């Protein structure tokens, strides 16, 4: 197979931009008009948008790579510094933009190939001397989440696409001989506790009181919600019904200190195949093995390590790498020190237990430092592993399985045999004998243990679909998931059944060539409904049900058009089913508001938007934040509600409904009192102060804000000694940026 690194880079597929669409409420309007066509971005959106910070340039260290790496496929790493398109907001009344491309990239990167790491004792000891208590796995873990440079992937039809936000997940096989059982604390409870700790942390900007400067730079999507979604997508442990957390490859590592290196490599391989590190029986035992020799630059001879590396290639093939690291610990005062990036995909259990903290804290924000040469060598190793071994291996497996298994199932003979097994039991014994033996109607599903063996067609096709999804070939993955739906329903494999419905809907929503028409949205909604019902009613699996609803909400919202109405409905479903805690309720209320706020008015008329519904959900979010004791977040939601309600307020900034005005006024007053108490001020003194935005706005913008009618902020400038100003909602008649809302 030709290496994907030799293919000509191709621009990533077109992505959908939500523009400014909006969403639905619990009340249905059968006759309500909707946009006849979705809001699609005509330009190709660069897929390197990512939520993690961009990697630093490598141009200064690239020249050393051919010398540092002795592997046969070593290549120089190109500088990869993707610049994120930031949408800085001039004032909180201008609203928060959609930011769905960031969320879409976050979802795509969450389903990355998993690579196991199994290091020898001497290797872990060498790495611990550098300040990493978790050994070699902890050292390379953060570098795998974003592979430097562009990764070229070929789909099932041979078309090549380049991705600059590709990554892998490194997991520790050495510390987990068997997949651990579910923790005593439910995963969703751990997620809520992790969010609560993040809000209460004094070092986290979300936990303190937001300043006006924070409002000016408030991101398009709440950072707390991104943290919630990231932890939700990290909470899954390996399960039989999906293979996203099954290892695609394993890295077997020894160091130059080892006295019997080849025998140690064979022993480590045997441990992962049939020893105490063997994975459960529902994980396919055949996956790629990659052998790494860590050379100690400070104490060992490179000549001897090179000879040993040549022996490794002769015995184990070309999937080998010589990684040259220094064993001395790097400190901040070193000239060539580089801070190790923080791991992005930390589960709630890891955040609560503090497993990510380094061995030695040298006032470095909890992150250790490495020598620049070590960072360069690790990035070269990770890129070579992914581009030259993992991606070609996955492409080869998908091609083989597609030709040998999937093509037969899609043909007439395959459908006939499937029907024969279903109704007559041909090819797998009689129907009664299968049921009596504990098997499903196809004879391949083990009802007593609840999984398919990894070598049966149903398991192979699911693995093929997951590989295609991780290779971002969503058309092939969607068709394969759809092929399996009837088989799993026939076998009553309900968790498998729910999983293929969920991932089929996600694949169709991620496919940029799949037009989100109304009929297609209805089909996707039916898949989501089936998946959610099976997860909750038949399997009692709340984490996967919440994942299904969260992914569906975000991806439907990003597609715009009729999908926006469905997005809000699924967010409400998650709240109605009590799948989220008190913090999650507030976050989902904000997301429902964002869904409704993204709904545009019908072109040429003044109706069709959902700004008032968006404002209502923003007010509800403010009330929820206030109950949690977060007046700053409540104030931000109230100011967002003022902007959304601009077209219904009168000239004095008051609501036409007295009851609504009284509710909002009481909420504002409660926010003011809570804020004063959190600042340790006298709640009886409510001194009106200037707009806090004036201190951070340019002079020209401040003059424009001064002309606005009755516009006063909910929170006064905390840098002054005053308290809160009097709160009055108003519409921005002089700001040309609100023309769209006046037309709504």
Residue 122 lies in a domain: yes
Encoded tokens for 193: 């506790």
Q: What is the mean pLDDT of the segment spanning 104-133? A: 94
| β partners of residue 289 | 250
Q: What pLDDT shows up at residue 332?
A: 80
Residue 10 has pLDDT above 50, yes or no: no
CB atoms within 10 A of CB 365: 8
40-44, 317-321, 517-521, 527-531: least confident range: 40-44
Residue 48 has pLDDT above 50, yes or no: no
Q: What is the mean pLDDT of the segment spanning 423-445? A: 46
Q: What pLDDT shows up at residue 542?
A: 96
- Find the domain containing 315 and state its range: 113-173+247-350+366-400
| pLDDT classification of 721: cutoffs 50, 70, 90 | very low
| pLDDT classification of 679: cutoffs 50, 70, 90 | confident
Q: What pLDDT shows up at residue 204?
A: 52
Alpha-carbon distance 426 to 437, whole Å? 16
101-110, 360-369, 496-505, 646-655: least confident range: 360-369
Residue 86 has pLDDT above 80, yes or no: no
Alpha-carbon distance 292 to 309, whole Å? 9
| β partners of residue 154 | 160
| pLDDT classification of 44: cutoffs 50, 70, 90 | very low
Residue 237 lies in a domain: no
Residue 444 has pLDDT above 80, yes or no: yes
Question: How many domains does the structure of the chain reveal?
Answer: 1
Q: What is the mean pLDDT of the segment spanning 177-181? A: 44
Q: What is the mean pLDDT of the segment spanning 4-21? A: 39
- Are 187 and 543 contacting, i.e. CB atoms less than 8 angstroms apart? yes
Residue 721 or residue 124, greater confidence: 124
| β partners of residue 119 | 253
Question: DSSP state, 492?
Answer: T
Q: What is the mean pLDDT of the segment spanning 262-285? A: 90
Alpha-carbon distance 636 to 628, whole Å? 14
Residue 384 or residue 34, greater confidence: 384
Residue 263 lies in a domain: yes
251: domain CATH number is: 3.40.50
Beta pairing, strands 169-172 & 114-119: parallel
For the chain, percent of residues with pLDDT exceeding 90: 48
DSSP percent split of the chain into helix, strand, coil, nearest 5: 45, 5, 45
Residue 518 or residue 486, greater confidence: 486
CB atoms within 10 A of CB 504: 26
Q: What pLDDT shows up at residue 334?
A: 67
Q: What pLDDT shows up at residue 355?
A: 53
**Residue whose token pair is 């009929």:** 519
| pLDDT classification of 499: cutoffs 50, 70, 90 | very high
| β partners of residue 288 | 249
Residue 705 has pLDDT above 60, yes or no: no
First-to-last alpha carbon distance for the chain, in angstroms, is 56
Q: What is the mean pLDDT of the segment spanning 292-303? A: 94
| pLDDT classification of 156: cutoffs 50, 70, 90 | confident
Annotate 205-241 with DSSP letters as a single string.
TTTSPPPHHHHHT--SS-HHHHHHHHHHTT-PPPBTT
Highest mean pLDDT among 146-160, 242-256, 353-367: 242-256
Q: What is the mean pLDDT of the segment spanning 262-276? A: 91
- Are 18 and 38 contacting, i.e. CB atoms less than 8 angstroms apart? no
Residue 262 lies in a domain: yes
Q: Exposure of 572 by Cβ count < 10 A (0-12 exposed, 13-18 middle, 19+ buried)? A: buried
Residue 666 lies in a domain: no
Q: Where is 247: in which H helix or E strand?
A: strand 247-255
Residue 654 lies in a domain: no
- 3-state DSSP assignment of residue 115: strand
Beta pairing, strands 320-325 & 337-339: unpaired
Residue 183 lies in a domain: no
Residue 354 or residue 259, greater confidence: 259
Q: Where are the alpha helices (DSSP H) in 290-347?
A: 302-316
| 423-428, Cβ contacts within 8 angstroms, sequence gap of 24 or more | none
∠ CA 727-729-734 to the nearest 5 degrees?
A: 125
Residue 589 has pLDDT above 90, yes or no: yes
Tens digit of each residue's pLDDT (9 = 90 or more) over 551-587: 999 999 988 878 888 999 999 999 999 999 999 999 9
Residue 597 has pLDDT above 50, yes or no: yes
103-117, 177-191, 308-322, 713-727: least confident range: 713-727
| pLDDT classification of 618: cutoffs 50, 70, 90 | very high
Highest mean pLDDT among 357-371, 596-610, 669-683, 729-743: 669-683
Q: What pLDDT shows up at residue 36?
A: 37
Q: What is the mean pLDDT of the segment spanning 607-634? A: 89
Residue 422 has pLDDT above 70, yes or no: no
Residue 131 lies in a domain: yes
Q: What pLDDT shows up at residue 321?
A: 97
pTM of the entire predicted model: 0.76
């Amino acid at each position: 197979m030709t290496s994907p690194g030799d293919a000509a880079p191709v621009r990533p597929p077109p992505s959908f931009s939500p523009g400014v669409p909006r969403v639905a409420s619990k009340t249905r309007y059968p006759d309500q008009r909707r946009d006849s066509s979705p809001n699609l971005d005509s330009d190709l959106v660069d897929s390197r948008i990512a939520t993690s910070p961009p990697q630093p340039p490598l141009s200064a260290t690239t020249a050393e790579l051919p010398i540092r790496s002795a592997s046969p496929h070593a290549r120089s790493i190109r500088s990869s510094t993707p610049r994120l398109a930031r949408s800085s907001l001039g004032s909180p009344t201008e609203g928060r933009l959609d930011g769905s491309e960031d969320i879409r990239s976050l979802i795509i990167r969450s389903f990355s190939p998993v690579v196991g790491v199994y290091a020898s004792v001497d290797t872990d000891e060498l790495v611990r001397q550098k300040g990493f208590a978790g050994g070699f796995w902890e050292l390379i873990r953060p570098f795998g989440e974003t592979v430097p440079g562009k990764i070229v992937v070929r789909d099932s039809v041979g078309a090549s696409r380049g991705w600059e936000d590709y990554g892998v997940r490194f997991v520790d096989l050495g510390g987990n001989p068997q997949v651990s059982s579910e923790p005593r604390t439910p995963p969703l409870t751990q997620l809520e506790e992790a969010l609560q700790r993040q809000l209460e942390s004094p070092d986290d900007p979300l936990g303190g009181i937001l300043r006006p400067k924070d409002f000016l730079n408030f991101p398009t999507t709440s950072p707390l919600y991104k943290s919630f979604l990231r932890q939700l997508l990290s909470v899954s442990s390996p399960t039989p019904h999906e293979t996203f957390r099954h290892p695609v490859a394993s890295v077997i590592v020894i160091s130059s200190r080892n006295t019997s290196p080849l025998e140690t490599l064979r022993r480590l391989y045997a441990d992962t195949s049939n020893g105490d590190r063997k994975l459960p029986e529902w994980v396919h035992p055949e996956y790629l093995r990659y052998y790494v020799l860590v050379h100690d630059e400070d104490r060992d001879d490179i000549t001897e390590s090179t000879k040993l590396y040549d022996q490794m290639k002769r015995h184990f093939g070309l999937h080998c790498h010589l990684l040259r690291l220094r064993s001395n610990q790097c400190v901040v005062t070193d000239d060539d020190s580089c801070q190790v990036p923080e791991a992005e995909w930390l589960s709630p259990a890891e955040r609560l237990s503090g497993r990510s903290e380094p061995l030695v804290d040298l006032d470095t924000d909890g992150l250790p430092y490495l020598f620049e040469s070590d960072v360069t060598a690790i990035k070269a190793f990770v890129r070579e592993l992914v581009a030259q071994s993992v991606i070609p291996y996955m492409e080869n497996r998908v091609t083989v399985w597609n030709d040998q298994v999937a093509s037969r199932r899609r043909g007439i003979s395959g459908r006939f045999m499937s029907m024969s097994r279903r109704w007559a039991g041909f090819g797998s014994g009689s129907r009664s004998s299968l049921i009596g033996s504990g098997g499903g109607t196809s004879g391949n599903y083990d009802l007593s243990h609840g999984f398919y063996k990894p070598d049966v067609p149903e398991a192979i096709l699911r693995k093929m679909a997951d590989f295609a999804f991780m290779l971002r070939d969503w058309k092939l993955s969607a068709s394969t998931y759809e092929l399996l739906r009837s088989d799993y329903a026939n076998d009553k494999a309900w968790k498998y059944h729910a999983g293929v419905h969920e991932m089929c809907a996600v694949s169709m929503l991620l496919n940029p060539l799949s037009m989100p028409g109304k009929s297609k949205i209805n089909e996707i909604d039916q898949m989501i409904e089936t998946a959610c019902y099976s997860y909750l009613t038949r399997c009692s699996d709340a984490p996967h049900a919440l994942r299904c609803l969260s992914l569906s909400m975000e991806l439907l919202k990003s597609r715009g058009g009729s999908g926006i109405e469905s997005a809000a409905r699924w967010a409400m479903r998650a709240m109605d089913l009590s799948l989220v805690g008190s913090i999650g309720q507030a976050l989902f209320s904000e997301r429902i508001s964002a869904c409704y706020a993204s709904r545009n008015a019908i072109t040429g008329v003044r109706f069709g938007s959902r700004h008032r519904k968006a404002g209502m959900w923003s007010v509800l979010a403010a009330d929820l934040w206030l109950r949690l004791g977060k007046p700053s977040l409540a104030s931000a939601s109230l100011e967002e509600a003022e902007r959304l309600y601009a077209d219904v307020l009168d000239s004095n900034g008051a609501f036409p409904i007295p009851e609504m005005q009284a509710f909002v006024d009481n909420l504002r007053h409660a926010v003011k009192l809570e804020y004063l108490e959190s600042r340790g001020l006298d709640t009886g003194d409510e001194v009106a102060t200037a707009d806090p935005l004036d201190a951070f706005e340019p002079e020209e913008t401040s003059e424009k804000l001064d002309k606005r009618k009755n516009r006063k902020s909910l929170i006064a400038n905390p840098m002054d000694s005053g308290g809160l100003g009097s709160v009055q909602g108003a519409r921005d008649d002089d700001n040309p940026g609100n023309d769209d809302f006046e037309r709504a």
